[in-house]
Amino acid sequence: MEKNNESLHILRHSTSHILAQAVQSLFPQAKLAIGPSIENGFYYDFDLTDGHAFSEDDLVKIQDKMIEIVKQNLTFEQYLIEDVEVKISEFKSQGEIYKAELLEEHKNDNPTLYLTKDKSGNFLFNDLCAGPHVPNTTYIKAFKLLKVAGAYWRGDEKNKMLQRIYATAFWTKDDLKAHLDFLEEAEKRDHRKLGTQLDLFSIREEVGGGLVLWHPNLATVREEIENYWRCEHRKRGYQIVNTPHIAKSHLWDISGHTSHYRDNMYFIQDEDQEYVLKPMNCPFHILIYQANRYSYRSLPLRLAELGTVYRNERSGALAGLSRVKGFTQDDAHIFCTPEQLIDEINAIIDFVSDTLSMFGMTFDVELSTRPESYVGTIDNWDKAEEGLKKALDVKGMKYEINEGDGAFYGPKIDFKLKDAIGRTWQGATIQLDFNLPERFGIKYQDSDGQLKTPIMLHRVIFGSMERFMGILIEHYAGSFPTWLAPTQVCIVPISNEKHTDFAQKVYEKLNAEGIRVKLDDRSESMNYKIREALQDKKIPYVAVIGDKEIEANAVAIRARGKGQIGVFAIDEFIVKLAQEIKSKGHEVIG
RNA sequence: GCCGGUGUAGCUCAACGGUAGAGCAACGGUUUUGUAAACCGUAGGUUGUAGGUUCGAUUCCUAUCACCGGCUCCA
């Protein structure tokens, strides 16, 4: 059997059968649901009908049992189900209701069973499965059970919650070890850990889950990114606006939020007037549009805002900076004519792609279509979905279709960013909306003199500042490039007594140039300060100052992760540092 | 919201029925350093919160808040 990526899925799927066999042998009451291969591993869902919950200890026992089964050198054999109805009732009588349900669905697809058989030809276990599998268990050499989690049968929260065991398998022990090492490495990059370690942000119980306190360090990173964002928007023809945090409920009745987004909204009662804490910025931008008359010549109108919104999330959904209740969207709304639409969408795709590639990030694209709860006519929705598809096709971008995942007012193009652990997060999104302009009755005057309804695009590049920072922290593993680093240079005098005066002058000089610099004149050893600055605080540069440097009017530079890189005249260092900062991520010094 | 797990000093962890201990950080002192952890000392906690069981609770039980791994949902 050739050992490539495709066959790895087969190996994993086969290992999942062994997992099921082990579980049923240790827990005869366990009923089998499904056990597919997934990216980086596989899982199997079980219904432990007696309410027992798999523990860490159980995982060890199950893993041992699997090793025992594998050692028996069993063969996998396919078996065609001849009488489906008989097998369904057999499954039912065994209590295998999930298998029965699956077989019922696949009864016209020539369903097969896979059996594991020992050397004497005894069948030990069977599972409804289309296959294929590895020929026998000698192929299964390197696997590990990772974690237990709850999962709804068929992913529907109306169904029973099953217990899912996540695991992984590889062709060799070395491959397995490499993957486990990767997971460990990813854990170190977790933005929540780095957030504490680097004093970036905190989330306090007293404030509430999903509400972020930005510490000075992360606020600095954000400031740099926002400055870049503003500058880039002006270049690309956007105008920047600001809008309030609350508005009367009536505004959200017009937009449709009170009926389609209610569960996510916070309401504020003020005497007999009800207000809503804004979950989105769009209605405000529409009102700004309404303040003036527009013609086809003056469109597109591009309004951008770093708008802070609040959304009530289901309690289990919150996660670090990735999923919060209060967040700032780098939002924009573009009002345009149908003729301008494709160019506008393409310009946004370029904007997203330019921005993400500046950070060296990769992304996948998805097109999300009409959800169950929506406003507007099917005709408008079809037009909108076609428009987005056309724009993506013109760009030649590859994308997946995500049925029913659009916003309630329009379909969207989503850009999925990967975090350190390989989880994907929605970052940038472009949403095409024929509906809100109609609901608010906004118009423009076309070349034929007629008043027409403009098309509206909602879009974000970073998604939210919070989530993007989370991804950024993990992306850089906390070692921000110089332009973003909260502290860019740490000055370390070798002897406080002899060198601090000069170090102070260097500090003032760098500070006057707008460089984020710190002088470490604590009574600590030089080695300690260097280690703390470079390793713990992940500051890009340490400037060491001693007799020789004072003599030469210079600084000895040590760079994060690189060690000593040389002695620079102070002015030369400043020039190079400024170049590096300006380059936004490209290393100049060294 | 659901399933499972976890909340002990600023951080990382220990003790697990007999009223809490370490390392790092902090603070004080000594040291003044030539390139990734100098030395000594001090202080710091109603063990997330509220109830309950018990002679006695950080430890057991219940509720609640928060976090973690997932599911569902989403920027």
CA-to-C1' distance for A210 and B48, Å? 17
Q: Which long-range contacts (CB under 8 A, 24 or more apart) does A226-231 make?
A: A226/A306, A226/A465, A228/A584, A229/A306, A229/A330, A229/A461, A229/A462
How confident is the model at residue A502, as a pLDDT? Answer: 96
Active-site residue flag, A245:
no
Q: Are residues A127 and A226 in the same domain?
A: no
Q: Are residues A273 and A404 in the same domain?
A: yes
List the one residue out of A276, A286, A288 whose CA is nearest residue A252: A276
Q: Are residues A199 and A267 in the same domain?
A: yes
Q: Are residues A452 and A507 in the same domain?
A: no
The values of phi and psi at residue A461, to 5°, are -100, -55
Q: Are residues A120 and A222 in the same domain?
A: no
* A187 belongs to a structural domain: no
Q: Are residues A271 and A399 in the same domain?
A: yes
How confident is the model at residue A1, as a pLDDT? Answer: 66
Question: Of all nucleotides in the shown strands, which has a C1' nearest the CA of A531?
Answer: B36
* A34 belongs to a structural domain: yes
* A431 belongs to a structural domain: yes
CA-to-C1' distance for A525 and B38, Å? 7
Count of structural domains within chain A: 3
Enclosing domain of residue A470: 194-475
Domain boundary among A141, A175, A209: A175
Q: Are residues A445 and A542 in the same domain?
A: no
Q: Are residues A163 and A281 in the same domain?
A: no
CA-to-C1' distance for A328 and B57, Å? 45
Which residues does chain A have with pLDDT short of 50?
Answer: none
* CATH code for the domain in which residue A557 is found: 3.40.50.800
Active-site residue flag, A448:
no
Active-site residue flag, A499:
no
CA-to-C1' distance for A374 and B74, Å? 16
Active-site residue flag, A537:
no
CA-to-C1' distance for A131 and B34, Å? 67
* CATH code for the domain in which residue A140 is found: 3.30.980.10
Q: Are residues A376 and A513 in the same domain?
A: no
* A182 belongs to a structural domain: no
Q: Are residues A470 and A505 in the same domain?
A: no
Active-site residue flag, A311:
yes
Q: Are residues A22 and A90 in the same domain?
A: yes
How confident is the model at residue A546, as a pLDDT? Answer: 96
Domain boundary among A475, A509, A531: A475
How confident is the model at residue A217, as a pLDDT? Answer: 97
How confident is the model at residue A215, as a pLDDT? Answer: 96
Question: Of all nucleotides in the shown strands, which has a C1' nearest the CA of A499?
Answer: B32
* A483 belongs to a structural domain: no
Question: Of all nucleotides in the shown strands, which has a C1' nearest the CA of A417?
Answer: B75
* A246 belongs to a structural domain: yes
Q: Which of A458, A475, A518, A558 is catalytic?
A: A458
Active-site residue flag, A329:
yes
In order of A70, A158, A226, A540, the CA distances from A431 in angstroms are 51, 29, 22, 39
Q: Which of A302, A325, A412, A459 is catalytic?
A: A412
Read off the tokens for A538.
Answer: 């992940």
* A189 belongs to a structural domain: no
* A532 belongs to a structural domain: yes
Residues linked to residue A306 through DSSP beta bridges, in sequence order: A330
Q: Are residues A231 and A333 in the same domain?
A: yes
Domain boundary among A447, A475, A503: A475
Owner of token pair 């609901």: A439
Other Cβ atoms within 10 Å of A509 Cβ, number: 15
